[in-house]
Structure 1
Amino acid sequence: MSRHYTISELAAEFDITTRSIRFYEEKGLLCPTRSGQARIYSAGDRTKLKLILRGKRLGLSLEESRDIIEMYDPQRDNSPQLQRLIDKIREKREMLKRQLNDIQTLMQELDDAESRCLQALNDTVPSAKEP
């Protein structure tokens, strides 16, 4: 028998809000069944939620995560899905390297500007030897 989860159980397990889970549901990523007013999530929904959150930690957009998750088919070879994920990981890594380089450049420019400002202050402050 397949395990089922309530929205509160998933929220607690993944340390997210129930609103976040409802958001993913609104976006069509999770498809719980209903028992009266209660949402009942399947093991598949739990796995999708885990993958969505992993994608988020990796810097993937919700659409990027959706595309990769939707490629999964247990009846066939999932190499294309894995290759797409690898490609996205490499894209994110390159973007972060560029951002890191930009940050390092900006830090150097800030250091240089601060040094010039401090030097200008020192040059304009009258020395104690002058009358």
Structure 2
Amino acid sequence: MASRSEDKQTWTIREIADEFDVTHRTVRHYEELGLITPERLGTTRVYHRRDRTRLGLILRGKRLGFPLEEIRTIIDLYDAPRGRRSQLEYVLAQIDERRADLEQRRRDLDAAIDELGRFEESCRADLERRA
């Protein structure tokens, strides 16, 4: 149950975890790493729009295969003096690197699959000769 106080919307840990389909432990882990910084009211965590946005960026980065330290750099750049522009330039460079890595992995997988196919054919032919 998100609360509204003037223009500020907040979320509980349960709400934010449910929204992003992650566990409370995952949210707390990102908090421990300093990637998100919810407000604390006693023992209650109160998540603001900034935390919610950052969590979304963290999870997108993880889905794309970026390590947490790269994700931290990307997110922190948003707060840098050049802000969004420097963040976008950095992200584009990281995307190029990640794409090149994934494309190489695809080539490696394709080569391994081709080699398995050739080996399978050889084994089947060998088995037929022995039958």
What SS class does the counterpart of residue 3 from structure 1 fall into?
strand
Report the Cα distance in structure 2 between the residues aligned to 1:106 and 1:75, rounded to whole angstroms: 47
What TM-score do the two structures reach when normalised by structure 2? 0.89
1:104 is matched with which residue?
Answer: 110
> Which one has a bigger Cα radius of gyration?
1
CA distance in 2, matches of 1:118, 1:101: 26
Identity %: 43
Question: Which of the numbers 44, 52, 65 marks the counterpart of 1:46?
Answer: 52
Secondary structure of the residue aligned to 1:78 is: helix
Moved runs in structure 1, 4+ residues, more than 3 A?
Answer: 74-77
Q: Residue 11 of structure 1: SS of its match in structure 2?
A: helix
TM-score, normalisation: structure 1: 0.89
Partner of 1:64: 70
For residues 62-87 of structure 1, the C-alpha deviation after alignment (integer angstroms, 9 at most, x for no partner) is: 11110010011386452111011011
SS at 2:11 equivalent: strand
Structure 2: 5+ residue runs without aligned partners? 1-6
Question: How far off is 1:37 after superposition?
Answer: 1.4
Find the counterpart in structure 2 of residue 55 from structure 1. Answer: 61
Aligned residue type for 1:13: E
Structure 1 unaligned residues grouped into runs of 5+:
126-131
Structure ranking higher on relative contact order (CA contacts 8 Å, 6+ apart): 1
**Paired residue for 1:37, among 34, 43, 52?**
43
Task: Kindly tell me the number of residue pairs found equivalent between the two proteins.
Answer: 125
SS at match of 1:28: coil
Q: Is residue 101 of structure 2 the alignment partner of residue 95 of structure 1?
A: yes
2:15 aligned to 6, 9, 13, which one?
9
